[in-house]
Amino acid sequence: MFLSGPGSTPEIIAETCLVALTTISYILPRRGDLVPIFEEILATNIDSIVGNINQNETNSGMILLKARMSLLLGYYADMLFRKYPEAFTKIIDFLIQSLALTGNQKVVALQSADTLNTIISDKDLIPRLEPHLPRLIEQINQCNLKIQIKLYFSFLQDFIKYYHAAIGDSIIPFIHTLVQRILLELKSCHEKGEKNNIIINKCWNILRLICELDSFMP
């Protein structure tokens, strides 16, 4: 009954359900009878939940819904949408594209960065993500030049660590964007009179990791 109150918009009802599903993430995967239903409902409604990433979104309920969905994916991404590859592609695109959100949607960007940082080391996801790497790396390269979230760079480091064997020559434009980012941050430091910059340090650490991996430097 509490969901049918005067302030209960469809977005608020949906995000409340997502929070409940996240809360029971330790037990739901064990229910073989419920998981297919859970997957089918999410896949059927995936466009309504994560579609239309809009920098100018003002609907607070929709913003909260996207943040809750990003949180839920941190708990279920490894098991979701094995039979729904299109839905799986959409949730990964959603997480990466959300990173650039700012203003009142920064909460979605922060949660997506946290979720990506959580799931990128999941070995069950590696074979499912590898076919998408060329397209994903193009999106990541764009993010490398502008994302200010520090946790994003931790995600990048783990991305290289766990996917280096499948990245191949795509590492070249990736490196270029990191170098460009370092130069941009150095310029900003000089203009502001700053001596330390966390993003520069993180970019250097990623470049160092690349140089240490036999996949790139045999």
pLDDT per residue as tens digits for the range 97-127: 999 999 989 999 999 999 999 999 999 999 9
pLDDT of residue 18: 87
What are 22-39's pLDDT values in tens digits? 898 888 888 888 989 989
Sign of CA dihedral 50, 15, 109, 83: negative
The tokens for 5 are 């109150």
Give the position of tokens 């996801």: 125
Residue-wise pLDDT tens digits, 161-214: 999 999 999 999 999 999 999 999 999 999 988 888 999 999 999 999 999 999
What token pair was written down for 134? 């060329």
Both tokens of 10, joined, read 């469809």
pTM over 0.85: yes
CA distance 204 to 92: 26
The pLDDT value recorded for residue 3 is 44
CA distance 28 to 16: 17
Closest CA to 160 of 182, 144, 145: 144
User: Residue 2 above 70 pLDDT?
Assistant: no
